Amino acid sequence: MGFKEILQKMGEKRRQKKEMFKLAEEKLRIQQTLEERQKSANERELNRFLSEEREEQIKEALEFHRKKRQEDIQFHHNPLNTPNITNHTEWEVLREPNLFSKGKMTINENDGSVLRNNPDLMKNNRSLCGI
């Protein structure tokens, strides 16, 4: 069985499914129309008003929930409590000792300053400022 045949079968299944949905929707519409015709005019009008009220209640509830969600997004999210590099991690940068707090540029504690006692710094009569 080739790839083309598989695609054709999938397409055929999709067409059959669409056709079944169309038939079911048509049956449902016919059934609803028959039920509406059996009711009196006053009953149809009352049902219309009840359905309008129900839709209005659904609309109000939906607006309330949308506003609540928007407020939660805008005001109730505290970025300070989210895990990041400053808190809630195993390695916290802000709690490490400051490597540059000694105030001098040294390679090791025993070596002294990088700028002092370096014979290659003053070659060719250059000063540190005029390089």
- Quick one: pLDDT band at residue 79, thresholds 50, 70, 90? low
- Token readout for 43 is 């009953």
pTM summary value = 0.45
The percent of residues above 70 in pLDDT, for the chain, comes to: 60
Residue 50 has pLDDT above 80, yes or no: yes
- At 75, list the tokens: 């005001």
Q: Cα–Cα distance between 25 and 33 in angstroms, integer?
A: 12
Q: How far apart are CA 72 and CA 78, in angstroms?
A: 10
Contacts of 113 (CB under 8 A, 6+ apart): 104, 105, 106
Cα–Cα dist 50/31, whole Å:
20
At residue 75, the pLDDT reads 82
- Extents of the domains making up the chain: 11-77
In the structure, what pLDDT confidence band is assigned to residue 7 with cuts at 50, 70 and 90? confident
Q: How many CB atoms lie within 10 A of CB 66?
A: 10
